């Protein structure tokens, strides 16, 4: 091992450390942006470390440099151009790229460098091809569904899909078992084909609203595929980084399932909440006996006199793109002397961190975003709660009604507050497709309308009362 090799390994080690720090930093909103930068730096260092370790081979350097430049440029353009609302599709696409990279590395080694490969390397090739192909095709199918390019074919909703998927899984298994005896022949291509089709077969039946969980799981798979590719090419860096991504994706998947009160099995195969609910949830408006509605003017009067106000953002806020109007209202209330905070449920919206991203876009201060466990004990001393396009995440049945499909799901306990205003367009249900007991409580009033329009009306009302004049 020469000096350049040693230097390369030291850079690898630094890259792993930075990647671990990056992952850790992503756990808080405040540090997430810089953590992302650290992780990107780690990836850059990983490429540099590799270049040093494979010296002296200018031809290989050139290929890696060209690949990194093209990939980096595409990533940069995509990241700059993609709207926040299309983030789940983008993450799916990036996961797919990770899976495809591992698949291609394993196929290349199988075709050109497997003559002297030992059993561990051959098994790693099988795992990398299998998981990489499922990740690639599954992620592309997920992206296509989220973009509305792909529907849910009828056969995927019947038992036919299980027959098809089991057949594909058996074909992949047979190919995987026979591949070590013939790494360049039919088993390799059978494994690539069967695994790719299996990825599509398991993703296609899943509804759009369940897709974020699947994307998180596919993210974990891309890490597993990368770790297996690390064994194939003997890269410790790839093994460690892949294992970290695999574990992080799995933890996120688990957190999302717990937050939605669903098992992973029911997400993947349909179940608990009646399979996959439609995005945006239309729902049934019947079944409510005691509903009090009020105007934006009445809501503004309550806000004007409130010392402590908590906003609960949900999927409807994102649909209405009302984050800037909400920030405007918060500023007015703060100028009026109210203490303002935002209650963030882990699965509010349709993707992990959806509300954090949305509110960060409107420059809401991080310290005002309070996680569910932090804010729940504060609701009894809250004067006014404004629920903005949220529904399931504030449903008290999750605590009180053992028959409710949501029973057991941790929710924001807004029913403990003195006064609650629910801003939404109708009595329609949310993602879970069920009634919300909050709407009928004596302290609740509905303010019907689009979240953005209502927030703008509230700002107008408060301004007409002279609120915010001094601050402006
Ligand atoms: P939700 O329960 O889906 O309810 C959203 C509400 O927004 C609807 O009831 C809808 O009522 C209202 N709405 C829609 N457009 C609106 C607009 N323009 N203005 C005002 N309101 C509007 O949302 P949530 O409380 O955020 O709960 C999230 C749900 O999604 C949970 O059940 C969670 O398990 C699930 N989920 C979350 C994730 C994640 O990662 N965050 C992933 C998958 C699934 P109207 O139609 O009456 O207006």
391 lines ligand 1 (CB under 6 A): yes
450 lines ligand 1 (CB under 6 A): yes
Indicate whether 471 pLDDT > 60: no
Q: Which listed residue (392, 397, 401, 415) is catalytic?
A: 392
Measured on CA atoms in the order 232, 237, 238, 244, is the torsion positive or negative? positive
pLDDT digits (tens, 9 = 90+) for 102-131: 999 999 999 999 988 899 999 999 999 999
pLDDT digits (tens, 9 = 90+) for 174-201: 999 999 999 999 999 999 999 999 999 9
412 lines ligand 1 (CB under 6 A): no
428 lines ligand 1 (CB under 6 A): yes
pTM given for the model: 0.77
Least confident range of 79-93, 213-227, 307-321, 330-344? 79-93
CB 213 within 8 Å of CB 277: no
433 CA distance to ligand 1 middle (Å): 10
pLDDT digits (tens, 9 = 90+) for 247-301: 999 999 988 888 777 788 877 775 334 444 444 444 455 578 889 999 999 999 9
151 CA distance to ligand 1 middle (Å): 21
Q: What's the confidence (pLDDT) of residue 472?
A: 45
Cβ neighbours, 10 Å, residue 68 = 16
351 lines ligand 1 (CB under 6 A): yes
Q: Is 57 a catalytic residue?
A: no
425 lines ligand 1 (CB under 6 A): yes
What is the percent of the chain with per-residue pLDDT over 70, rounded to a whole number? Answer: 94
Nearest CA to ligand 1 atom 47: 426
176-199 burial code (b ≥16 CB/10 A, e <16):
bebbbeebeeebbebbbebbbbbb
40 CA distance to ligand 1 middle (Å): 33
Q: What is the mean pLDDT of residues 451-457?
A: 97
Indicate whether 160 pLDDT > 80: yes
Q: What is the mean pLDDT of residues 408-431?
A: 94
Q: Distance between CA atoms of 411 and 330, rounded to whole angstroms?
A: 23
Indicate whether 368 pLDDT > 90: yes
Measured on CA atoms in the order 105, 106, 108, 109, is the torsion positive or negative? positive
- Most confident option among 73-82, 261-270, 322-331: 322-331
Between 466 and 280, name the one with better pLDDT.
466
Least confident range of 37-41, 232-236, 239-243? 232-236
Q: How confident is the model at residue 242 (pLDDT cuts 50, 70, 90)?
A: very high
Nearest CA to ligand 1 atom 46: 428
């Amino acid at each position: 091992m020469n000096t350049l090799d040693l230097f390369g390994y030291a850079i690898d080690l630094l890259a792993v450390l930075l990647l671990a720090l990056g992952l850790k930093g992503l756990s808080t909103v405040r540090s997430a942006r810089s953590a992302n930068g650290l992780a990107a730096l780690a990836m850059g260092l990983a490429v540099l470390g590799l270049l040093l370790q494979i010296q002296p081979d200018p031809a290989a350097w050139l290929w890696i440099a060209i690949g990194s430049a093209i990939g980096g440029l595409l990533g940069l353009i995509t990241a700059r151009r993609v709207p926040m609302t299309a983030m789940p599709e983008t993450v799916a696409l990036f996961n797919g790229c990770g899976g495809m990279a591992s698949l291609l590395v394993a196929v290349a080694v199988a075709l050109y460098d497997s003559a002297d490969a030992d059993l561990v390397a051959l098994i790693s090739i099988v795992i990398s091809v299998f998981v990489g192909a499922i990740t690639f095709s599954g992620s592309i199918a997920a992206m296509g569904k989220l973009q509305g390019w792909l529907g849910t074919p009828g056969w995927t909703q019947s038992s036919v899909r299980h027959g098809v998927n089991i057949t594909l899984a058996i074909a992949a298994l047979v190919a995987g078992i026979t591949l070590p005896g013939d790494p360049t022949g039919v088993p390799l291509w059978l494994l690539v084909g069967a695994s790719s089709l299996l990825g599509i077969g398991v993703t296609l039946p899943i509804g759009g609203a369940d897709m974020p969980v699947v994307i998180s799981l596919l993210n974990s798979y891309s890490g597993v595929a990368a770790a297996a590719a690390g064994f194939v090419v003997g890269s410790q860096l790839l093994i460690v980084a892949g294992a970290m991504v695999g574990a992080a994706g799995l933890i996120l998947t688990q957190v999302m399932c717990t937050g939605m009160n669903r098992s992973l099995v029911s997400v993947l195969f349909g179940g608990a909440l009646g399979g996959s609910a439609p995005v945006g949830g239309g729902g049934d408006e019947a079944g409510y006996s005691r509903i009090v509605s009020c105007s934006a003017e009445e809501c503004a009067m309550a806000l004007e006199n409130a010392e402590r106000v908590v906003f609960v953002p949900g999927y409807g806020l994102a649909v209405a793109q009302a984050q800037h109007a909400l920030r405007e209202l918060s500023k007015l209330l703060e100028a009026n002397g109210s203490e303002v905070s935002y209650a963030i449920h882990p699965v509010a919206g349709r993707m992990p961190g959806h509300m954090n991203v949305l509110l960060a876009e409107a420059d809401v201060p991080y310290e005002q975003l309070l996680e569910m466990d932090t804010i729940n004990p504060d609701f009894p001393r809250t004067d006014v709660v404004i629920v903005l396009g949220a529904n399931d995440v504030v449903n008290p049945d999750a605590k009180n009604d053992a028959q409710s499909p949501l029973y057991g799901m941790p929710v924001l306990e807004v029913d403990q507050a003195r006064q609650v205003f629910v801003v939404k367009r109708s009595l329609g249900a949310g993602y879970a497709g069920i009634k919300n007991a909050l709407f009928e409580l004596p302290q609740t009033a509905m303010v019907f309308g689009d979240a953005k329009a209502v927030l703008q009306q509230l700002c107008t009302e408060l301004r007409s009362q002279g609120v915010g004049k001094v601050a402006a």
